Amino acid sequence: MLRDPVETSVGGIEVSERALTKSLEGVVVAVPEGCAVDIGDKIHLPHYEVAEAMVEGREYAMFDGKKLFARRGVDGDFEPVNRHVRVRKCVNDHVRDENGECLIHMTDKFLETTNWVEIIAVSGDCMHVSAEDVGCFCPCPEESPKLHRLGRTKDYMLHEDEIQFTTTGG
């Protein structure tokens, strides 16, 4: 993947040189057979196990195609790939109905290490989660290598294996 240039400003505010970080996005320039993306696709770089190389002044990132979790769709939003689900963080809380009554009580230890998320989009190759689950909620482990934040948003990509159950919340 050819990395995008480093962003030197965020929301119109200049970022100091010490605070600059490498871009987490780039364009696919080569793919192994059976990969979930094509050459030219814009993707979000995996957070771990990435090898970097400079070739003729351009920065490239190389990684196992199975680690890929998101690509830019035609609408400009990230869409999940490789059995990932796009989720949006909610709050640490018990599951409640429309009157605020507790439907599912979460233990203190569970609440400390889990956040509730809403399912926003589902990869087409998911085996246990489907498009029917969009809009449902599920607990999400806070510290999992299968949870990837999408840039500076509240959205994450979560591998479907981490989803134990879903609920409509009411």
Domains in the chain: boundaries: 2-68, 78-162
For the stretch 7-50, pLDDT in tens is 777 677 776 776 556 778 889 998 877 788 889 999 988 877 88
pLDDT given for residue 106 in this prediction: 63
CATH architecture of the region 2-68: Roll (2.30)
Side chain identity at 55, as an amino acid letter? V
Scored b (16 or more CB within 10 A) or e, 17-40 reads eeeeeeebbbebeebeeebbbeee
pLDDT given for residue 112 in this prediction: 52
Other CB atoms within a 10 A radius of the CB of residue 129 amount to 23
What is the maximum span of the chain, computed from C-alpha positions, in angstroms? 61
CATH architecture of the region 78-162: Roll (2.30)
Q: Are 2-68 and 78-162 equal in CATH topology? A: yes
pLDDT given for residue 92 in this prediction: 53
pLDDT, one tens digit for every residue, the chain (170 residues)? 787 777 777 677 776 776 556 778 889 998 877 788 889 999 988 877 888 888 888 888 888 888 889 999 888 889 999 999 999 887 555 666 777 676 666 666 555 555 788 899 999 999 999 999 999 988 888 778 888 888 777 789 999 999 988 887 65
